Chain A
């Protein structure tokens, strides 16, 4: 399991952020070729993003690129340019059809084998920014083994739902619940959308706490100052860490002694509880996470 508390968007035509964005220590960076880049600058951004990827200095961040949507003329050139650089994944906007994901899977495989990259290495992160996309969330998540996470949209989704933003984003309660349900049913991560008001630290904290409670693994981030707040929310408390350590240690001890059942404080502990405890330590940064 990989830690995905924060995924920071880096505008694809902005050298300063592309080169230094990882210094803010998000769990992942998203080099953005889509909304952050004007149509007239797509070509220049693609070259810049390619060269920054080739340099490949992103600390311990998971590196993904948000490509242009599959109904545009850009997406094929996007993946042909960035995938050979050996990225961790692509983020596809406005996904609403599982068939598109299958098509993408095939296209990625071709590029990977041509570039002598392990076929299947490039993960897919799906942005579900329409009602239809949300409705098909489970099928989309299941459309390829590459799918690592599904993410509900924000403003685009509101527009598609023919509504507007309310202070507590009540209009997104339903979609967020559907996505988190579909994600866990399909065995992928649920990652939440961005919090748009970059000056409202209290609002960001409230929303992060809420989506964490729903079952999300993290949020996308549009401003570096949001990262410490989200990490704080998604990082377990001292009490939670203490309990998780106890469980993981007991499980290790039981395994060493060849016992199937794990006991903590005189109570039997199930396997999922051990798994959750491991995840808690991972979130706390006390246990290495995922593939890296």
Chain B
């Protein structure tokens, strides 16, 4: 399975790791970090919105969060997905 990653664990950032999933498997997201308790729903929504706008339907996403807001999370998801598509796999 091809995998790609973007982001850092600096403050207000996150590491997003995306892994190819078979067609029809849908989107699965796992998250860890201090903000998950209060912002978990928002993080899922931001991730799904970004994937949708990039036309991704089947993917496995792992988020290691260190306080990223939606803006940063979305940018990291986009970068990771583009890397996956562009063959810059980790």
Q: From the candidates A13, A43, A50, name the one contacting B82 in the complex (CB within 8 A).
A: A43
A51 B12 Cβ-Cβ under 8 A: no
Q: Given contacts A51-B71, A55-B71, is CB(A44)–CB(B76) below 8 Å?
A: yes
B12 A44 Cβ-Cβ under 8 A: no
Q: From the candidates A14, A16, A48, name the one contacting B79 in the complex (CB within 8 A).
A: A48
Residue of B nearest to A14 (CB): B10
B75 A51 Cβ-Cβ under 8 A: yes
Residue of B nearest to A19 (CB): B12
Give a binary string over B59-90; 1 marks a CB under 8 Å from any A CB, 0 the rest.
00000000011011011101100110000100
Tell whether B8 is near chain A: CB-to-CB under 8 Å: yes
A15 B72 Cβ-Cβ under 8 A: yes
B6 A16 Cβ-Cβ under 8 A: no
Q: Please report the C-alpha to C-alpha distance between residue A280 and residue B84 in the assembled complex, in whole angstroms.
A: 54
Tell whether A47 is near chain B: CB-to-CB under 8 Å: yes
Q: Given contacts A15-B72, A51-B75, A55-B71, is CB(A44)–CB(B7) below 8 Å?
A: yes
Tell whether B11 is near chain A: CB-to-CB under 8 Å: yes
Give a binary string over A1-35; 1 marks a CB under 8 Å from any B CB, 0 the rest.
00000000000011110010000000000000000
Listed from nearest, the 3 A-B pairs whose CB atoms lie closest are A44-B79, A16-B12, A48-B75
Interface residues in chain A, defined as those with a beta carbon under 8 Å from any beta carbon in chain B: 13-16, 19, 43-44, 47-48, 50-52, 55
